[in-house]
Amino acid sequence: MSFQATAFAFLFPGSAMTNSILATAYISIFPNLLLYFVPPDINTGSLNVLVSFAVGGLLGDVFLHLLPHAFLGEHAEENAVVVVNNQKNVLIGLGIFVGLFFFFFMDKMMRVVNGGDGAHSHDHKKHDDPVADNKGKSENGVKLSAYLNLLADFTHNMTDGLAMAASFYASPAVGATTAVAVFFHEIPHEVGDYAILIQSGFSKQKAMMAQFTTAIGAFLGTFIGILIEESSLSNKAADEKAGVVDTVGLMGTDLRWGDLVIPFAAGGFMYIATVGVIPELLVVTGNQKKDRKQAFTEFLAMFVGLGLMLFIAWNDIPA
């Protein structure tokens, strides 16, 4: 057994349900604990390098694991035959779009409520006038955007939880890979949100507690995902027990609702990485020498994140 398989077996030793909950605990607790050691005024360039690494990992998981599984499934045996069903592929593609649109809808509505500013952003540049900022904080208290950011974070974490459940019910390989990708995404994500809360008037302790509170969303998403997957498996088992060979699923295909959770999560991850994060990496300071160095560092970090997902996908643990 390879080191990778041994490590994953140690971290995820139980059933799909148990492993989903364990993975959610890993991605929720440890990144938040790291906030204790993070200075509130973390350098933007350093955070962007972490974000670039996370984007590479997240998109690597989408394109190297989630989407291949959604369309082709997991096949342990060699020379497995995959039957192409156009209607099934259309529904899977629709599931991906729904996941992407869901986050677009949430992002858009948050901006409308917040008067044009994105509620869920990792951007935490220092303000030009700290005296005016402190005065504004004392007069207005905690900004509305901070609470909207927490709400968006809660929703984001729900999608992470759904992805954990769907991935582990798909196979141990998909589950472990998704857990790794989400874990590395959560570190800069939590650091960025933590900085936003600090700038909005939260104390360090209150900011950390608020971030832990949003982790409830991840567990809620996981339990919803488990219910969907268990219901799908129960219906399938009932059909097999009744001797029904050709079961008809959604719109005449063999898809069940549980099969659309992974496409939904993939669409959500695509939006988070490409629309929610990458635009922030495109911001430059105007100092060409500094920007050039920062850009190449971010490119390298992104490819390292992608390379990690490629390594895990290429050396898949058995389903």
How far apart are alpha carbons 265 and 167 in whole angstroms?
Answer: 9
Percent of the chain at pLDDT exceeding 90: 30
Band (51; pLDDT cuts 50, 70, 90): confident
CA 211 from centroid of its chain's CA atoms: 16
Q: What pLDDT does residue 247 have?
A: 59
Helix (H) or strand (E) holding 274: none
pLDDT at 22: 96
Phi, psi of 317 (to 5 degrees): -75, 150
Q: What distance in Å separates the CA atoms of residue 72 and residue 174, rounded to the nearest whole number? A: 13
Q: 83 pLDDT band (50/70/90 cuts)?
A: low
Band the pLDDT of 319: cuts 50, 70, 90. very low
Using CA atoms, how far apart are residues 227 and 233, in angstroms rounded to an integer?
Answer: 10
Asked if the structure places residue 3 within a domain, the reply is no
Q: Is residue 11 part of a domain?
A: no
What letter does residue 255 receive in the DSSP assignment? -
The more confident residue out of 238 and 265 is 265
The number of domains in the chain is: 1
By residue range, what is the domain housing residue 111? 20-74+83-314
Tell me the three-class secondary structure of 108-119, residue by residue: HHHHHHCCCCCC
Model confidence over 258-316: pLDDT tens digits? 888 889 989 988 998 898 888 889 999 999 999 999 999 999 999 999 998 888 878 76
Query: Which residue, chain included where needed, has tokens 């901070």?
Result: 146
Comparing 153 with 142, the larger pLDDT belongs to: 153
Has residue 248 been placed in a domain? yes
Closest to 269 measured CA to CA, from 260, 280, 259, 277: 277
pLDDT: which is higher, 258 or 319: 258
Please tell me the pTM assigned to this model. Answer: 0.74
Q: Which residue has the higher pLDDT, 183 or 3?
A: 183
In the chain, how long is the greatest CA-to-CA distance? 74
* Position 248 confidence tier, pLDDT thresholds 50, 70, 90: low
Look at residue 80 in the predicted model and tell me its pLDDT. 56
61, 273 Cβ separation under 8 angstroms: no
What is the C-alpha to C-alpha distance for residues 227 and 177, in angstroms, rounded to an integer? 22
Dump pLDDT digits (tens) for 170-226. 888 889 989 999 998 888 888 878 877 876 778 888 888 998 999 999 999 999 999
How far apart (Å, rounded) are the C-alpha atoms in residues 86 and 253?
A: 9
Query: Has residue 296 been placed in a domain?
Result: yes
Domain assignment present for residue 181? The answer is yes
Task: Give the pLDDT confidence score for residue 131 in this predicted structure.
Answer: 42
**Contact (Cβ atoms closer than 8 angstroms) between residue 231 and residue 258:** yes
Which pLDDT belongs to residue 270?
92
3-state class (DSSP) for residue 64: helix
Residue 319: both structure tokens together: 């389903």
Q: Establish if 58 belongs to a structural domain.
A: yes
pLDDT attached to residue 132: 44
User: Taking residues 111-115, what's their average pLDDT?
Assistant: 78
What's the confidence (pLDDT) of residue 75? 52
Determine the Cα angle at 161 with ends 157 and 163, to 5°: 115
Say if 14 falls within a structural domain.
Answer: no
The answer to whether the beta carbons of residues 118 and 279 sit under 8 Å apart is no
Q: Round the average pLDDT of the chain to a whole number and report it.
A: 82
The confidence score (pLDDT) of residue 226 equals 94
Q: What is the spatial distance between Cα 158 and Cα 106, in angstroms, rounded to a whole number? A: 13
pLDDT single digits (tens) 114-152: 776 555 555 544 444 444 444 444 434 456 667 777 887
Rg of the Cα atoms in the chain: 21
Asked whether residue 300 is domain-assigned, the answer is yes
CA distance 121 to 100: 17
Q: Which amino acid is at 237?
A: A
